[in-house]
Amino acid sequence: MTTNYDIWVDFMTMRNDRRLWTRLEDIRPGFVPIAGQYAIVGCEDAFPAVAQIISVDIEDGMVLQVLAGSVEEHRHLLTTA
Amino acid sequence: MERQDLVMVQPLPIRREQPPDDAVVVVRAGVMDRPSLERAARQCFGGWGVLAISVEAVIGTTVDQACRTSPRLSQYRQVRLSSIGRLIRGPFVLLPTFEAPHFSVILPDLSDLTVPRLIRCFDDPIPNPGLDPSR
């Protein structure tokens, strides 16, 4: 997939507390999710967002906390590899 | 079934409430192209063991306001509209899941019959009426 996000999400599944669950297979190749760090999340026809990775489990997938606002507003949280 | 095939998932959390009226508008954000719909349904299957996509019902508000205030809908450039009645006649099962006004549209499979039928239950995409003009 050619994307500008680290993790594919369906924002329609986001809870009112802005948490959502996703699968490890929805991570872009090369991106290593680490609990506590931040990632760019998005999908084909949505505005991308920054999310904190709350938990990562090889069997249970990941829980993310999506931050309100644009990627630019939160770019300082993103780790540059 | 062999033991290693028995993978437990969390149950889909269903609200105890009466089904909405057939005329209630339902919104799914995004253009709903087939690959992304299938991916969303598979993601739901991975987490809760059912093929389903998420929609929001517009209850006690307007489509514009729902699109403006929902943290989900406001994330998208375009939305597609349907109604409870259209989806039920689809025929699809709608379950009130997670927090209102979220509903899950249950898909029996992702076949060439089911997915196009689901897409036809929705109007063509329109620009998100709740979009922040600064985006």
ipTM value for the complex: 0.91
Residue B76 touches chain A, beta carbons under 8 Å: yes
Which domain does B78 fall in, by range? 22-127
In a domain, B96, yes or no: yes
For B36-56, the pLDDT digits (tens) are 999 999 999 999 999 999 999
In a domain, B99, yes or no: yes
- Cβ pairs A/B, distance under 8 A: 69
pTM: 0.92
Q: How confident is the model at residue B64 (pLDDT cuts 50, 70, 90)?
A: very high
**Closest in B54, B77, B135 to A12, CB measured:** B54
Residue A2 touches chain B, beta carbons under 8 Å: no
Question: With 50 as the cut, is the pLDDT of residue B1 above it?
Answer: no
How many domains are there within chain B? 1
Question: Are A44 and B31 in contact (CB < 8 Å)?
Answer: yes
Match 């699809």 to its residue by tokens.
B92
A49 interaction partners in chain B (CB closer than 8 Å): 75
In a domain, B117, yes or no: yes
In a domain, B100, yes or no: yes
Question: Are B55 and A12 in contact (CB < 8 Å)?
Answer: yes
Domains along the sequence of chain A with CATH: 7-77 (2.40.240)
HEC letters along chain B: CCHHHCCCCCCCCECCCCCCCCCCEEEEECCCCHHHHHHHHHHHHHHHCCCEEEEEEECCCCHHHHHHHCCCHHHECEEEEEEHHHHHHCCCEEEEECCCCEEEEECCCCCCCHHHHHHHCCCCCEECCCCCCCC
In a domain, B16, yes or no: no
For A1-52, the pLDDT digits (tens) are 445 899 999 999 999 999 999 999 999 999 999 999 999 999 988 999 999 9
In a domain, B78, yes or no: yes
Question: Are B76 and A13 in contact (CB < 8 Å)?
Answer: no
What whole-number distance in Å separates Cα of residue B97 and Cα of residue A38? 28
In a domain, B3, yes or no: no
pLDDT score recorded for residue B5: 57
